[in-house]
Amino acid sequence: MQIKCLAPEGIPYLIATAAVTLIVGLFNPWLLLPGGCLLLFFAFFFRDPPRQLTLRPDAWISPADGRVMAVVPWQDPDPEQPSQIKITIFLSVFNVHINRAPMDGILTQQVYRPGHFHPAFKPHVSELNEQNRMAFRQHQLNFAVHQITGFLARRVVSDLQVGDSVRQGQRIGMIKFGSCTELLIPSGCDVLVKPGDKVIAGKTLLAASQSPAS
């Protein structure tokens, strides 16, 4: 049974921490304190609070909580792919780590790529770190979400399979313990955020297409 306001990925951590804390506490009651603190940390980190979504068919909402690190042009290694705009969001350990669909669409490709675990706030982590890349299509619009690990984040979680349809604001996965999320959108879109802006998954508008998607 899923506990409201708690991501299901956190339940094994809470159960294991509680069990170990109780066992070691039988031998040394002082060890209940660090165990209890760790239990509270996991409960805080894996929180999944209810959220009033901002829905707008012709715009991309933030796929993650955090702070915008960069808004830059981006070119796929495949030269036949069109150029895009990449919006990079850094998630600290204090942010909610649930990822949400930035726009309605169908998952057309999902590629997991092994890599390093450099701190997620450093430049070029998208080229080096382990990540999960999800490509979506909505009619004539193509966009993508990259879940990227960090120094503490060692696992990305995706809720989707290729062919799945998603609704704007729907949960699509999470990244554990500090990370980076990228949104890639078509060039020529109107970007509504800048580096340094704080964003909220499912609420903050990041960019709008030049014409409403139909």
Residues involved in catalysis: 179
For 105, residues 6+ apart whose C-beta sits below 8 A from its C-beta are 136, 137, 138, 141, 143, 165, 166
Name residue, tokens 């951590």.
Answer: 13
For 53, residues 6+ apart whose C-beta sits below 8 A from its C-beta are 61, 168, 169, 202, 203
Name residue, tokens 């009651």.
Answer: 29
Structural contact between residues 129 and 120, judged by C-beta atoms closer than 8 angstroms: yes
Phi then psi for residue 93, to 5 deg, are -65, -15
